[in-house]
């Protein structure tokens, strides 16, 4: 790995350790940081065979930190979101919206990289549509997983994990933000991503 990628890994691990020190609700912490633990482990195991581009690593690392912060406080109690709600007279703590936006960003960049490296699909309208569909499907699947988790675990922990804060349209907002993240990521970062793939000679590898 490049030095910058080692720095990103250290940042995520430091955030994970910090988040696990006396979190607000331990059960919620486990549920929120599980994707971070599993994701870091999977990337480490596969890294030699499948190294990711720097932009993918950066976005994955940022998402990992967002999840760790949400796990430590629970999303409804994250101080940054609470400050924003008070400062801008918002109806709720919107920190979880940031997490769901990145839930579209990260699957989009990872899905795009996997498709370009492992399939005959090339840049274009079809790629754009497929990547957006993958991100939206992952977001919808996560909403279903949250729903079942809330039903099966302790009700209080399940409610904190959902983070709906009384918003009846919370699931729809979450999926809309994930789709927005997927679309904006492709529009804003597609060319940079292509250059990084070409620089590493990965556009048609694997």
Model confidence pLDDT, tens digit, residues 170-205:
889 999 999 999 999 999 999 999 999 998 875 444
Q: What is the pTM of this model?
A: 0.88
Cβ atoms of 113 and 155 closer than 8 Å: no
Tens-place pLDDT, residues 23-46: 999 988 998 899 999 999 999 999
Instruction: Name, in order, each residue with C-beta under 8 angstroms of 102's C-beta and a sequence gap of 6 or more.
Output: 59, 62, 63, 66, 181
Q: Which pLDDT value is given to residue 127? A: 96
Long-range contacts of 27-30 (CB under 8 A, 24+ apart): 27/153, 27/154, 27/157, 28/71, 28/74, 28/157, 28/160, 28/161, 29/71, 29/72, 30/71
Sign of CA dihedral 77, 32, 15, 72: positive
Domain ranges (residues) in the chain: 3-199
Whole-number pLDDT of residue 204: 42
* pLDDT on residue 144: 86
């Amino acid at each position: 790995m490049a030095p910058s990628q080692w720095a990103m890994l250290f940042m995520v691990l430091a955030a994970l350790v910090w988040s696990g020190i006396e979190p607000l609700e331990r059960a919620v912490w486990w549920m929120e940081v599980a994707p971070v633990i599993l994701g870091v482990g999977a990337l480490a195991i596969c890294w030699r065979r499948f190294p990711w581009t720097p932009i993918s690593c950066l976005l994955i690392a940022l998402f990992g930190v967002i999840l760790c912060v949400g796990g430590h406080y629970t999303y409804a109690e994250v101080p940054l979101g609470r400050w924003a709600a008070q400062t801008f007279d918002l109806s709720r703590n919107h920190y979880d919206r940031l997490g769901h936006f990145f839930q579209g960003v990260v699957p989009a960049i990872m899905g795009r990289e996997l498709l370009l490296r492992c399939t005959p699909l090339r840049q274009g309208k079809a790629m754009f549509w497929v990547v957006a569909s993958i991100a939206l499907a992952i977001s919808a699947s996560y909403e279903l997983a949250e729903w079942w988790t809330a039903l099966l675990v302790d009700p209080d922990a399940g409610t904190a994990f959902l983070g709906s804060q009384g918003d009846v349209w919370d699931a729809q907002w979450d999926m809309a933000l994930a789709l927005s993240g997927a679309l904006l990521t492709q529009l804003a970062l597609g060319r940079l991503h292509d250059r990084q793939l070409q620089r590493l000679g990965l556009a048609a590898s694997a």
